[in-house]
Amino acid sequence: MTPEHIHAVQSTWGKVLPIKAIAARLFCERLLETDPSLSCLFRGDMRQQGAKLIQVIDAAVNALSRLDRIGPLMQVIGRRYADRGVDDHHFGMVGAALLWTLDKALVHEFTPEVRDAWATVYGELVAAMLDAAATTQPGHVLSVDQKDAA
């Protein structure tokens, strides 16, 4: 992850925040449309789950320059998801839903360079989650295909 990736993600995330409730709804709907089995990720009110999602993304985006601060959170999330039966394939689907949502939210500002930055950052954050999940489930390999987001 380069400083350019960090800048692209942080600057575009600032443009998503004003429509965060809409972005969260789009993400959740897209993810469940793509794979209904991922409903295990959503417990309780969908709006509250969407708000939590935005909080996690916001914390991660704001800490990109200091990954040591967000690492423990990614580990907790990774273990929690592993306990719920989420595997590597699901992380790829989440990444695709995230990229799709960003494309819808940012429209023309979601350039190929911005898409690449988000995919790179997501991949690195998920790697931390998968490392933690490996203590719960053996053998993880991450594959986020940007084409899945289209």
Q: pLDDT by residue (tens digit) across 48-61?
A: 878 888 888 888 88
Residue 114: is its pLDDT beyond 80? Answer: yes
Average pLDDT value for residue range 24-33: 90
Instruction: Check residues 147 and 83 and name the one with the higher pLDDT.
Output: 83
Q: What pLDDT was estimated at residue 85? A: 65
Separation in Å, CA 5 to CA 29, 38, 112, 117, 124: 27, 28, 12, 4, 11
**How many whole angstroms separate alpha carbon 138 and alpha carbon 35?**
23
- Asked if residue 137 lies in contact with residue 82, where contact means CB atoms within 8 angstroms, the answer is yes
List the structure tokens of 21.
């409730």
Q: What pLDDT was estimated at residue 139? A: 44
Domain count within the chain: 1
Q: What is the 3-state secondary structure (H, E, C) of 109-141?
A: HCCHHHHHHHHHHHHHHHHHHHHHHCCCCCCCC
* % of the chain at pLDDT higher than 90: 33
Q: What pLDDT was estimated at residue 11? A: 95
The CATH code of the domain that includes 90 is: 1.10.490.10
Confidence of residue 140 (pLDDT cuts 50, 70, 90): very low
- Asked if residue 105 lies in contact with residue 26, where contact means CB atoms within 8 angstroms, the answer is yes
Instruction: Check residues 68 and 117 and name the one with the higher pLDDT.
Output: 117
The two most distant CA atoms of the chain are separated, in Å, by 41
Burial of 42 (0-12, 13-18, 19+ CB in 10 A): middle
Structural domain boundaries, residue 85: 3-149
Q: What pLDDT was estimated at residue 120? A: 93
Confidence of residue 87 (pLDDT cuts 50, 70, 90): low
List the structure tokens of 73.
């959170």
What rounded mean pLDDT belongs to the chain? Answer: 79
- Give the rounded distance of the alpha carbon of 130 from its chain centre: 13
Instruction: Give the sign of the dihedral formed by CA 6, CA 64, CA 128, CA 92.
Output: negative
**How many whole angstroms separate alpha carbon 123 and alpha carbon 118?**
8
